Structure 1
């Protein structure tokens, strides 16, 4: 078995994950295998485009088109069942990192936020935004300016026992950038396409990856296309909550009463301890101008 660290968990996997951080600990939180998945008694069923989900209190099964089905149970097990011999490992891994690990976190009562992060002054600044808002490009620009990248796509929010502070944990050491972002940044590494046929590429930072957890100090939310010039607003209370809750990662998995309570409690606690800022930018925006606006808040 291959051993990895990811999403704050120690993972033993029957397949290789170059996206994850290698680990040597004998302890295992989650196992990943390729096998036939068991049938479950689903209490909730729904679809989101090409993915169909079946859930009960302790199990999740989801099927991705004609690629593979995934079984997630008890916050400790993932089984991958390819539906075709032609399914590429990269496809299989992608839906583990995107969907199955979100299911693991949901079962463990931990909240993943669709947010990048940087570490400064012993605390964590999260940067979030819907697709096209400029999150990953801004993060890469901050790296060029000397800021320490913590995570790109997902931050796990966790409250430790006897600690009122909500802390952020990184997912895995890879930036994901579109071709346009690579051109803007004048980066040349296109050796790891995230998915065949898609102009999005993984940029690894294993050597600088930080597996520690940090208190969340600031949240910066990016929004594109609503204004003619960059605007910045500090959010508090219910307004901050309304904006942040939109960025729960795989929100469809967090609609059951118990997990809705988890979302409410965790995000409410984050709002109490962290400043929240909303940056609205025009659809056609100079990346350097947006980067300067974000940097001014750090």
Structure 2
């Protein structure tokens, strides 16, 4: 006859000379195998093709050097490259791209759309220039009308939807917001230098009216750039805040009846 097993067994003291085992953090991929996200990959590839196609049309219709100097063209070219890479990773179930890159791409796409619709395509704005890619003060026509809508409306909205619906939250950080301003600052220096190097009678010497030094002078242009820069930084901070408060739509539901290879027994006693 054996003695009954006590309900409460005290913890045994640690054996001297044997180091304690460090806790190991098991990655989620070791528990839940990654699966390809084919619909996400197809959506991103479609957005990339739209952006790349609109950029290619603008390059074919106008001067390539002048066209490539636009912030709109550069931001959409970046979006096309990043979305192609992101589509490939989603298709092959690989780790997503760094959030510093995808967050910057989203920010620049949103800036492109907001600046166009708030300043350039707005009739009440003092900087109205609907045909900004052609340098005309009238609404674009033909292929230009299509590319203007794709580059300033379709791709920014698509980038925002991809971030909200197809990207896991919590990846953006406040320290990235200041880094994202490096490209707009570099573009400001580039466009001002470009305007100084071109002849005064060159058409569209300054590509954006709020950066036209010949018309407004450096004091007003730098003030405009400062206000836009603060707006870009505020938008970047807003994206970071929203990224940490939005729900995770990609979270998998737990399978309550999954087979684990063993069964749990009721506690003894």
Identify whether the pair has TM-score above 0.5, normalized to the shorter chain: no
TM-score (norm 2): 0.24
Structure that is richer in strand per residue:
1
Task: Look at both structures and tell me which one has the larger radius of gyration over its CA atoms.
Answer: 2
Structure that is richer in helix per residue:
2
